[in-house]
Structure 1
Amino acid sequence: MTATTAATPTAAPALQLCVKTPLVFSPSLSAKAGCRVYLKMESTQPSGSFKIRGIGHVASTLAAEAASKGVRAHLVSSSGGNAGLAATHAARALGLECTIFVPITAKAHVLEKLRADGGDVVVGGRHWAEADATAREFVEKKEGAIYIHPFDHPLVFEGHSRMMNEVIEQMDELQAGKPAAVVCSVGGGGLISGVFTGLKAVAPHVHVVACETTGAASFLASLRSSFSYNPPSVELVRLDKIDSIASTLGAVQVAETSVKLALEHEGGVSSVTMSDAKAIDAAKEFQLDHQYLPEPACAAALVPLYTPSVLRSLFPSLSFSTPGSPPPADAPAVVVVVCGGSTMTLENFVGYENEFEGAERGVVKVFRGGKERVEEEVEA
């Protein structure tokens, strides 16, 4: 590719690419869970979710490389959700143009946000894979175009990993000790790959709990089929379809790196899956406790904290206090990544509440990996 214009990306002076997010102790959740609960509030990122950490890192790194060759980068991504919003924000912060390809199922209010943030939005394709294929074709033809995968790229993992550095630093500042576990939602595997990478560097013995709704549990499917040999044996499983309202968990197959890192993680990994209705219940409780309404994908990570029996199944050797009263200062500490997101509206939430009113909540399923490979159904 021959450059016609030499240009260095110029950052918008008033825009931050991403920020160090608060780590907040939750008295209400701690009392309900019977342990000390800390919330890593990624919902406060400029783009509205953790996605800007990884996508911003990819964008700034590859744009700088392009500029060193005299090429002005043009960011391209394929997401009608949080990854797309992260890409448009990164483009604005770096002073670049951005084109986002989305399927026809993308929500209207998200398209408005993408355009308001300066993105050129191209709508087409029945689902993400078709929109993504069109995005890649565009990159092949567009000079300076940089394709940014929504979740599966080493620089994405690296960008997300810095969150764990912050968590451990913030726990130290609070004199709270090391957490027993980090709990996060899993979609395509970008976030949890960053969690594993970050913890390996700063707190390798911390356990990781991966949360998914039952109809989008592609990480669990691959984790079940893979084994912690030396080297690890990874067998990816592709779901036939996504059957969940948690659309931002909607990857039919996770990134291979996420499963490999899970098998290698010294602190071990567990999986928790639950119904969509349970995720909506957790979202409602969290809104009452913290005045923030998480989208279903984010709320999946809150279900274990609002379900003390699940925590006890995950950590049978830890000592939890009786739910309903403040836990003691030496109670186990659990960090939950409140990953944020922009797909939930009040109208959506009311619709979900009506849809699941009177519906069976079902059991929460716990899978403990490692040599044990214990699977258990927990009554909520």
Structure 2
Amino acid sequence: MFPFSKIEQAAERIGGVVTKTPYAFAPYLSEMSGCEVYLKKENLQITGAFKIRGAYNKIASLSDTERARGVVAASAGNHAQGVAYSASQFGIRAVIVMPESTPLTKVDGVRHFGAEVILHGNNYDEAYAHAVAYGTEHGLEFVHPFEDDEVIAGQGTLGLELLAAGERPDAVVVPVGGGGLISGVAAAIKHLDPSIEVIGVSATGAPAMRQSFEAKRPIDTTSVRTIADGIAVRDTSPKTLAYILESVDRFIGVDDEEIANAILFLLEKQKLSVEGAGAVGVAALLHKKLPHLVGKRVAVVLSGGNVDVTLLSVIIEKGLLKSFRKMKLTVTLVDRPGSLMQLTELLKSLNANIVHIAYDRTSTDLDYGDANVTIHLETKGEAHQNEIRDLLHRHGYLSQEGH
């Protein structure tokens, strides 16, 4: 079992530096899931994610001599900012190796905290190998994102905060990638109240830790593909798997469609910007993956909020289509003066708001003299969209819908 004393020491070290994030009741999610749900909002942490807890504790635990040499880490996002911010608090050098494909906003976020950024490799694994080699060559202390007891202890302080915030939950739902967060949180919770169920949630596109949990042995995967980049870990850490097998009761997966729905739900109903990794617990409740929790008090960890705005815009657009608030139609009409106006007048009669029109008369599948008009509409629900379809069909328009 992971030593609880290390988590207590970590809580003392990070006090006054790391934010004690809100832990609040979520009425709408509770109604939808049938549970009494509380959200631990680590998306509101200083750096936008829980990673600062472990990073700061690790650096604080180093000797003066070790800290003076500086630190190095590999990350494409949250761990990078956690290490950079923590190093700035001690006034020491920090070098972060990030994959070359890392978005500029994340690179700028790390530099904002004073760290040096090296862009290297096509993925995290290549960046990690370079960071280890660079640290050895330059005498820097390596700060691992999850395979380190001091990092795990720092993440475990979240569990202490959660249980101290109010009435104790029957279950705690935690996102899982490399396993550092759930290792620490589960250790804290099981020490203080072994009756509380600890549930891990991963993305089905990054199944290594879930498969390892089920098999009770480390299983690596050849690739990962998920919008939850914060938990997109390819290989299983034997260290964190051992802790997870000791303290975690259940492990489930959610797919990208379910994660995207949760991100949009949190944005609309909770007014919270949460990244894919942070939203997996909510996805599990929204999509009824944990039916045994109905009627129980459930704490869900929102582990981070550093969502890529480009991805968020795609999620919003798809969400509007799925919820019948947006509609895309391609209509074939005769290419002559007034044809487009007749079509738009029909749509106007049903108060369908046109937000975009594209006109194509050169497609090879069109008859000469015809044109395809693609229209994006704002609509008022499924019944409204059915009215639009019926009206167009009654007036002889051939149409197809885009998604």
Range of TM-score over shorter length: 0.7 to 0.9
The alignment yields a C-alpha RMSD, in angstroms, of 2.0
Match of 1:345 among 308, 311, 327: 308
3-state SS of the aligned residue for 1:245?
coil
Q: Give the alignment's TM-score, normalised by structure 1.
A: 0.76
Query: Would you say 1:304 and 2:279 are equivalent positions?
Result: no
- Partners in 2 of 1:299 and 1:358 — Cα distance? 21
Corresponding residue for 2:147?
A: 152
Q: Which residues of 2 match residues 7-156 of structure 1 at below 5 A?
A: 17-62=17-62, 65=63, 67=64, 69=65, 72-143=68-139, 145-156=140-151
Corresponding residue for 2:388?
A: none
Matched letter for residue 348 of structure 1: L
Query: Would you say 1:335 and 2:299 are equivalent positions?
Result: yes
Matched letter for residue 269 of structure 1: D
Corresponding residue for 1:276?
A: 256
- Partners in 2 of 1:70 and 1:80 — Cα distance? 24
Q: Which residues of 2 match residues 287-298 of structure 1 at below 5 A?
A: 287-298=267-278
Corresponding residue for 1:328?
A: none
Query: More helix per residue: 1 or 2?
Result: 2
- Partners in 2 of 1:333 and 1:258 — Cα distance? 27
3-state SS of the aligned residue for 1:24?
strand
3-state SS of the aligned residue for 1:90?
helix
Q: Do 1:17 and 1:52's aligned partners in 2 also have CA atoms closer than 8 Å?
A: no
Matched letter for residue 257 of structure 1: K
- Partners in 2 of 1:48 and 1:284 — Cα distance? 18
Gaps of 5+ in 1: 1-14, 227-234, 321-330, 360-380
- Deviation per CA, 1:65-98: give whole Å up to 9, x if none: 1x1x486131210012100010111011222121
- Deviation per CA, 1:183-237: give whole Å up to 9, x if none: 01111111111112111321222111111121112111101211xxxxxxxx100
3-state SS of the aligned residue for 2:289?
helix
- Partners in 1 of 2:250 and 2:67 — Cα distance? 45
Q: Do 2:74 and 2:97's aligned partners in 1 also have CA atoms closer than 8 Å?
A: yes
Deviation (angstroms), 1:115:
1.1
The structure with the largest alpha-carbon Rg is 2
Matched letter for residue 157 of structure 1: I
Q: Do 1:157 and 1:197's aligned partners in 2 also have CA atoms closer than 8 Å?
A: no
3-state SS of the aligned residue for 1:40?
strand
- Partners in 1 of 2:207 and 2:24 — Cα distance? 28
Query: Would you say 1:207 and 2:197 are equivalent positions?
Result: yes
- Partners in 2 of 1:199 and 1:345 — Cα distance? 32
Corresponding residue for 1:224?
A: 214
The 3 A distance-change label for structure 1 pair 16 and 76 is farther
Corresponding residue for 2:158?
A: 163
RCO greater where, 1 or 2, for CA within 8 Å and sep 6 or more? 1
Match of 2:174 among 184, 209, 214: 184
Q: How many residues align?
A: 308
3-state SS of the aligned residue for 2:186?
helix
Q: Percent identity?
A: 27
Corresponding residue for 1:258?
A: 240
Matched letter for residue 280 of structure 1: A
- Partners in 2 of 1:93 and 1:78 — Cα distance? 19
Corresponding residue for 1:240?
A: 222
Deviation (angstroms), 1:38:
0.8
Q: Do 1:190 and 1:255's aligned partners in 2 also have CA atoms closer than 8 Å?
A: no
Matched letter for residue 334 of structure 1: V
- Deviation per CA, 1:88-117: give whole Å up to 9, x if none: 110112221211001112111100111111
- Deviation per CA, 1:278-324: give whole Å up to 9, x if none: 100111011112211211111111112223x3221xx2xx6x3xxxx
Query: Would you say 1:249 and 2:231 are equivalent positions?
Result: yes
- Partners in 1 of 2:72 and 2:66 — Cα distance? 19
The 3 A distance-change label for structure 1 pair 136 and 346 is closer
Q: Could you tell which deviates more after superposition, 249-258 or 94-103?
A: 249-258
- Partners in 2 of 1:70 and 1:273 — Cα distance? 39
- Partners in 1 of 2:116 and 2:215 — Cα distance? 40
Matched letter for residue 42 of structure 1: E
